[in-house]
Amino acid sequence: MEGKEAFKKAHSSTSKDPATQKETVKWDSKANEEKFLRAQYNQRFVENDGSLGVHNYKYARQLLMDSLSHLE
């Protein structure tokens, strides 16, 4: 999701642990982290539904629209 990555880049910084090579995200505020996680949850919910939104497309569409609004 392009908006998600742009939001993450604008509101956080990342670093890698040299020993484990694991990436750590440091958010500029708790509110931005929560917005990102809410949007990510909605996106993953629709992706992993299995029906690709077909069973309840209005609900799936609304979740994705809500995700975009969280990232603005």
pTM of the model: 0.63
Burial bucket for residue 38 (CB in 10 Å: 0-12, 13-18, 19+): middle
The tokens of 69 are what? 């609004």
Q: What is the pLDDT of residues 30-64, one digit of tens each?
A: 888 888 888 889 888 888 888 866 778 888 889 88
Please state the rounded mean pLDDT for residues 15-35.
81
If one counts the domains in the chain, the total is 1
Q: Which domain holds residue 41?
A: 2-70
State the pLDDT at residue 4: 65
Integer angstrom CA distances of residue 25 from 3, 34, 59, 64: 17, 13, 30, 23
